[in-house]
Structure 1
């Protein structure tokens, strides 16, 4: 992927009192470049329980490419592409929710736990242009994932 049509990517996860903060951080790090800085904010829930918000903003093009390469493992590309118009808001931000448990195990799946928000480049800054740019990038990622998946499967076939 040569060009990156995103200004930045924000990743955020909540660590509740019942969770191990190190494990939640490890889940978030699944998508981040090595030794990337994670911001940590301690909050209190409605009943006084401790909630730690872990977040990172990825702005450098190489780092954004790294995050996107981790997303290429998504099995649900058809669903993401079908819902893309709803996943991009009026401010040209694209939203995905990624499964925290799967991320802790090193894989990318849609689900609860990690919020992925990417500001899509769009000139002119219109919803349709942002959706088109995001679609082109995600179709390329889905294609890459399909190629790597089929290459791995081909070696296991019997003659």
Structure 2
């Protein structure tokens, strides 16, 4: 099924880091078995970096590897998307699944901060890379798994 999920979001210098972390927290609180919000910041990797134009940015990332967490993430996303987002996702599924069997999703940061799951195409988003596991490696089978989980 799902091997792992990488979640990543960038807090730009014009954004409050705590709000960006809260937006990421929407997915983590609904995915991780241990939902204590005080511990979430300890689980998330934080990197202080420099943007393309020399502006300071903070990158928050986490990898979900436990089956419970990955399945809870996919269920939460599926159950909280609008019908329009579900239709968009279904029509774009083949393009979102790459040759390495990674399914790519982007979620609106502002909507996540407000407690809503919204698919976006913007690069300024919470990104989720869902690694699908099949033996032997088979893109068609991976596509069916993605449809079951998110379709």
The structure number with the bigger radius of gyration is 1
- Which of 44, 60, 74 is the equivalent residue of 1:54? 60
1:33-68 deviations in Å (ceiling 9; x for gaps): 223411000111133210110011001011112212
- Which of 102, 115, 118 is the equivalent residue of 2:111? 102
TM-score of the two chains, using structure 2 as the length reference: 0.84
Which residue is 1:91 aligned to?
100
TM-score of the two chains, using structure 1 as the length reference: 0.80
RMSD of aligned Cα (Å) = 1.2
State the alpha-carbon separation in 1 of the partners of residues 21 and 146 from structure 2: 27
- Which of 4, 12, 16 is the equivalent residue of 1:20? 16
The aligned length equals 135
State the alpha-carbon separation in 2 of the partners of residues 15 and 107 from structure 1: 18
| Moved >4 Å (runs of 4+) | none
1:6-43 deviations in Å (ceiling 9; x for gaps): 00111100000000000000000100122341100011
Query: Gapped runs of 5+ residues in structure 2?
Result: none
1:59-96 deviations in Å (ceiling 9; x for gaps): 10111122123202011111111111111000000001
Deviation at 1:124, TM superposition (A): 2.1
- Which of 23, 30, 39 is the equivalent residue of 2:26? 30
Which residue is 1:153 aligned to?
none
State the alpha-carbon separation in 2 of the partners of residues 68 and 124 from structure 1: 23
Which residue is 2:81 aligned to?
74
Deviation at 1:101, TM superposition (A): 0.5
